[in-house]
Amino acid sequence: MCGRYSLLCIDNLCGRFRVMDPSIGFRSHFNIAPGSTNPVIVAHERAEVVLMQWGLVPHWAKDIKTSNRPINARAGSLAEKPMFRDLLRSKRCLVPASGFYEWKLDGRRKIPFYIHLTDDPVFAFAGLYDIWHNPAGTLLQTYTIITTAANSLMASIHDRMPVILRPDDEVRWISRDPLPAEEIHQMLVPRPVGDMEAYPVSDRVNSPSVDDKMLIEPLSGLRNV
């Protein structure tokens, strides 16, 4: 799964994702947690950056207080589940990120690891989004991050990982056209091990209120564990 992530170096968000006018004030965050509001890239007439809450609320939900708000969606079952099936056809999005956290079970302890790409300071998770309207007409835009089976690097930490799209697939993923099932399958795969690095970090990340650069620093100088 993916329960926390970071987003850094977003000064070049416009160029990196070919967005014409990302006029959203958003500073770097090192510990993005569910329920927070973050930049998401969608395609309408053109690619746009929109602030959305992490944790999907389906448009048909009657009460958001009691609605299940999944932060992740399994790639293999997207086409089967009503909550995701229609979104897969028409509401795909990019979730900009710089890295993510996962916790490795070690006896009774859970050790947090930070995982990132070695050659790309900002990349994109594959995501889905929806728009909920309350009776008064207020809009709530929310998103979920798609996960897939872990690659061999992640497998020693957790059995799932977020889908990190290849740059060549990003524009196609958010296109307004339906995607063939085979093309979706080819996109929603684990990122190759050689592209990634993982290392243990401070358990200060366990608290969503902690948000500083030290969270992504290797614990005791350890890297590639």
Provide the residue type at 189 as one letter: V
66 pLDDT more than 90: no
What are all long-range contacts of 106-110, with beta carbons under 8 Å and residues at least 24 apart?
Answer: none
Candidates 154, 152, 151, 143; CA nearest to 114 is 154
Which residues pair with residue 160 across a beta bridge?
Answer: 149
* pTM greater than the 0.85 cutoff: yes
* pLDDT at 218 (0 to 100): 94
What average pLDDT does this structure show over 101-113? 93
The whole-number pLDDT of residue 22 equals 54
Average pLDDT, the chain: 90
111 pLDDT more than 90: yes
Eight-class DSSP state of 192:
P
DSSP 5-39: EEE--GGGHHHHTT-S--------EEEE-TT-EEE
- Gyration radius of the chain over CA positions: 17
Domains and CATH numbers, the chain: 4-221 (3.90.1680.10)
pLDDT interval class at 107 (50, 70, 90): confident
Residue 32: per-residue pLDDT: 98
Q: Does 175 have pLDDT greater than 70?
A: yes
What is the model's pLDDT at position 24? 64
| Strands (E) located in the chain | 4-7, 29-32, 37-43, 47-54, 72-74, 92-97, 99-106, 109-117, 123-133, 139-149, 160-162, 196-200
pLDDT in tens, 130-169: 999 887 778 899 999 999 999 999 999 999 999 999 999 9
Q: What are the catalytic residues?
A: 2, 102
| Whole-Å CA distances, 71 to 53, 128, 137, 208, 218 | 10, 10, 24, 15, 26
Q: Which letter does DSSP use for residue 170 in this model? A: H
Q: Give tens-digit pLDDT for 16-51.
A: 887 766 556 678 999 999 999 999 999 887 888 899
Q: For residues 163 and 187, is the Cβ–Cβ distance under 8 A?
A: yes
Q: For residue 101, which of 192, 184, 170, 199 has the smallest C-alpha distance?
A: 199
User: Per-residue pLDDT for 180 more than 90?
Assistant: yes
Residue 102 pLDDT exceeds 70: yes
Q: Which amino acid is at 115?
A: I
* Span 189-225, pLDDT tens digits: 999 999 999 999 999 999 999 999 999 999 875 565 5
Query: What phi, psi does 169 have (nearest 5°)?
Result: -95, -10
Beta bridge partners of residue 103, listed in sequence order: 112
Q: What confidence score (pLDDT) does residue 147 get?
A: 98
pLDDT in tens, 48-59: 889 999 999 998
Closest CA to 220 of 203, 204, 202, 206: 202
- Residue 110 Cα to chain centre, angstroms: 22
